[in-house]
Amino acid sequence: MRNFRSSKGDEELAAIIQKALVVGRTTFVITNNTCINYIAAVISLYSELEPGEKTYKRVRIGKRLVNIPHPRLKVLLQTLDQCLKNILPRHERCFSYATGVDFIRDMIRPLMVGKRVIAHFDIHKFFDNIRDYHVQEVFERCELPEPGELTKVVTYNGFLPQGSPVAPTISNAVLVDIDESMTIRHNGQERFVYARYSDDIYLATSEHWIPKMLEARLKRLLSAKGFELNPRDTQYMRHNSRQVVMGINVRGVSLNDSAIYIPWKRIERLVEEFLRAKPGSPVAWGKHNYVQRVNTRQSNLLATVLSSRLGDLSNFGVRATQLRTRLEERNGCTKRDVPKAEENTRGKDKEEPGCGPVHSEVG
């Protein structure tokens, strides 16, 4: 285990966290050499919270029900998350919730593009099935202080609550052994590519028989840890059909494509959803951030439309269309410029105006 000890005493660190509890947010940065001390301080301060301050409020965000911790508990968990990001393992083929990792640059382009078969699997109720013993096992493996007490800090009613600041970091570490078992190499080469983004698992290969065999192996590994696949979300996508990875159709994409595009009708739907949402809605901004990561120019268009939020909401579609046309003309890329052969490969998306051959399926 790495040595994270520092010269700062636990009392001094506890005072720093206490100040954050008063402010209501963390205003400090935790370095590697103070992680263990901060963890000890968090455990101590957690024991001093009132029973009502250790609770979560269950709210609906979009289609999901998440648990939002009490504001004082949230500050402690945010502090703890900074520490755990420096300590807990994340497999190289896990691309979720990691600083500096981009799913398009690091996952889709190098691993998914150009494969004959891409299989998608979804872990059924992933966060709801991460139990306290999963979490304590991770803490013990990393030799953290007081793993039992630390598990009580981050779990609620025996589960890792989705919506907690530490849930993404811990969820990555819970499946690190499965990620390693599924990353199989023969003579230093991979016959298939494994990648995971939270509860979404992708297997890409050029041989049709491999995914079916690997599905059985994946089921056995997940079952041993108390998880299971959602059969309704299992997909086998061949090279002669749409291959959708993280909402992006990668069929026909080359590694040299400078940008990936989302259908403009989907952009307009995102605008409508944002205008209906409350100001600062995490759902709306989450959708905008998704667009920004996929395509910067389309993100700028979306931001321009959103800036007119206080205007007449009845004509948002007209404004979006006008801005889209201006953007396409400025960049010299219109529907007329797309070859007919390329349009015919789009299937049902060929009526949607856009500049590129790659389309999104999710928001």
pLDDT of the residue at 171: 95
For residue 319, give the nearest of 295, 300, 335, 301 by alpha carbon: 301
Q: What percent of the chain has pLDDT over 70?
A: 58
Residue 117 phi, psi (nearest 5): -135, 135
* Between residues 108 and 25, the one the model is more confident about: 108
Give tens-digit pLDDT for 60-111.
Answer: 876 778 899 998 899 889 889 988 998 999 999 999 988 888 887 888 888 8
Token output for 149: 């007490």
- Mean pLDDT calculated for residue range 1-21: 49
Token output for 146: 């007081």
Give tens-digit pLDDT for 283-323.
Answer: 655 666 666 666 666 666 666 655 554 344 445 455 555 65
Tokens 């300590």 sit on residue: 87
pLDDT of the residue at 160: 95
The whole-model pTM stands at: 0.71
CA distance 241 to 302: 29
Confidence of residue 6 (pLDDT cuts 50, 70, 90): very low
pLDDT of the residue at 138: 96
Give tens-digit pLDDT for 217-271.
Answer: 999 999 999 999 999 999 999 988 888 888 777 876 665 555 566 656 666 666 6
For residue 339, CA distances in Å to 334, 342, 350 come to 11, 5, 11
pLDDT of the residue at 355: 37
Confidence of residue 45 (pLDDT cuts 50, 70, 90): confident
Sign of CA dihedral 7, 12, 44, 172: negative
Confidence of residue 142 (pLDDT cuts 50, 70, 90): very high
Q: Worst-scoring range by mean pLDDT, 89-93, 128-132, 346-350? A: 346-350
pLDDT of the residue at 54: 93
SS3 assignment for 328-341: HHHCCCCHHHCCHH
| Pairing, β 248-249 against β 200-205 | unpaired
Rg (CA), the chain: 23
Q: Is the pLDDT of residue 162 over 70?
A: yes
pLDDT of the residue at 210: 84
